Amino acid sequence: MKNLTGSSIKDLENVALNYGQAAFRGHQIYNWIYNYRNKKKNIDQIEVLPLEFRKKLKEDGFKLSELSFQEKNLAYDGTLKLLLSTSDNESIECVGIPTEKRLTACLSSQVGCPMDCKFCATGKEGLKRSLKASEILDQILFIENEMNRKVTNIVFMGMGEPLLNIDELLFSIRSINEDFKISQRRITVSTVAVPKMINTLSAKSFQILSKCQFTLAISLHASNQKIREMIIPSAKNYNIKNIIEDCKQFVKDTGRRVSFEYLMLSGVNDKLVHANELSNLLKGFQCHVNLIQYNQIDEVEFKRASMKNLQLFQSKLFNNGIAVSFRKSRGLDKNAACGQLRQNSKK
């Protein structure tokens, strides 16, 4: 445990005791880490600790952060996208999305992504590695430091496939809940869907977290298997009907409704026939559809669906008895698409 971010009070008390310090020194480290007003990220800058204690911690390789600031883009609507460097010289993105009452942190779970979704910039360079829980959590601290306010909501919708890093994902959720004091009900885990991993997610959540109250969001983006395979190559390994069955089981196991993310792509999945197909696929269990405007990227030919088609699609779902909402894109003027800032920076 060299990186102290993600450590509990008990963990940090033990660190202090192991160095012959009083247990309250662990509390001081804890309060320093999770106070967003503390912008100093080095052990030797924790001014409340005795100098010798700080020196020994630093000499023994303890640290508060493995990430470093690389670049940021601030959009006209206040959305902040950060590009951060890892200790092995890779780059990851995270995003702060503010409203008057909340600050949502969009977090990455991997460096790159293996899923190769055709509409996404992140997968163009493949997967480098998965992130440790401490690296996931550090993204929250960077957002809070840069925006000078407390994060209230978390979405795992950044770079990577969370269910391919499931243990570190859940360890980070435990810390978000216990240390950052953010309720699980304000956390969303977004996944393209990986065979057998939806059931594993709920089972491991009860093992690691003792409960499963976060929202599961499936990046469905299609109303049938043929369209889904066209835009998400990995879909050939996981039939859309099997995804729905696993989601129904997730609802039974957790009591939490499932959200389905649906990216509106012009001429691909935005017709009324698709809305009817989607309605038939989802009817009969506790779920919600989130229609999303597409953030276009240069490398692919997909185009954003018209607002007229989006509204007609939404109305058709609603009239068919499906709970539906529309999520407007944020940060459109500043590398809004996932992975776009990282890719443009490399260029």
Residue 207 burial (C-beta neighbours within 10 Å; 0-12, 13-18, 19+): exposed
pLDDT of residue 151 exceeding 80: yes
Looking at per-residue pLDDT, the higher value among 151 and 346 belongs to 151
Nearest residue to 261 (alpha-carbon basis) of 228, 229, 298, 239:
228
Please report, for residues 43, 113, 121, the alpha-carbon distance to residue 336 in angstroms, rounded to integers and kept in the order given: 34, 17, 10
| pLDDT band, very low/low/confident/very high, at 296 (cuts 50, 70, 90) | confident
Which superfamily does CATH assign the domain made up of 68-346 to? Aldolase class I (3.20.20.70)
SS (H, E, C) 147-169: HCCCCCEEEECCCCCHHHCHHHH
Kindly state the average pLDDT of the residues 202-227: 97
| pLDDT band, very low/low/confident/very high, at 103 (cuts 50, 70, 90) | very high
Please report, for residues 8, 52, 105, 223, the alpha-carbon distance to residue 11 in angstroms, rounded to integers and kept in the order given: 5, 20, 25, 47
- The phi, psi pair for 44, rounded to 5°, reads -75, 0
Catalytic residues: 93, 338
Kindly state the average pLDDT of the residues 52-63: 95
The ranges of the chain annotated as CATH 1.10.150 are: 9-59
Which tokens is 140 given? 């929250």
**Cβ atoms of residues 184 and 209 within 8 Å:** yes
Go through 33-57 and write b for each residue having 16 or more CB atoms within 10 A of its CB, e for each that does not.
bbebebeebebeebeebeeebbeeb
pLDDT of residue 312 exceeding 70: yes
Kindly state the average pLDDT of the residues 153-178: 97
Q: What pLDDT sits at residue 121?
A: 81
Kindly state the average pLDDT of the residues 316-330: 90
Alpha-helical runs (H) found in the chain: 9-18, 24-33, 51-59, 133-147, 166-178, 197-208, 225-231, 240-254, 272-282, 307-319, 340-346
**Cβ atoms of residues 12 and 5 within 8 Å:** no
**Alpha carbon distance 76, 78 (integer Å):** 6
Q: Which amino acid is at 236?
A: K
**Cβ atoms of residues 297 and 337 within 8 Å:** yes
**In the 8-state DSSP scheme, what is residue 54?**
H
Q: Using CA of residue 325, residue 331, residue 335, residue 341, what is the dihedral sign?
A: negative
CATH number of 9-59: 1.10.150
User: Taking all residues of the chain, what is their mean pLDDT, rounded to a whole number?
Assistant: 92
Tens-digit pLDDT profile for residues 21-51:
999 999 999 999 999 888 877 898 999 999 9
- The phi, psi pair for 304, rounded to 5°, reads -70, 135
pLDDT of residue 337 exceeding 70: no
Which tokens is 299 given? 């490398």
Residue 319 burial (C-beta neighbours within 10 Å; 0-12, 13-18, 19+): exposed
Kindly state the average pLDDT of the residues 280-289: 95
The ranges of the chain annotated as CATH 3.20.20.70 are: 68-346
Which tokens is 160 given? 């990577």
| pLDDT band, very low/low/confident/very high, at 338 (cuts 50, 70, 90) | low
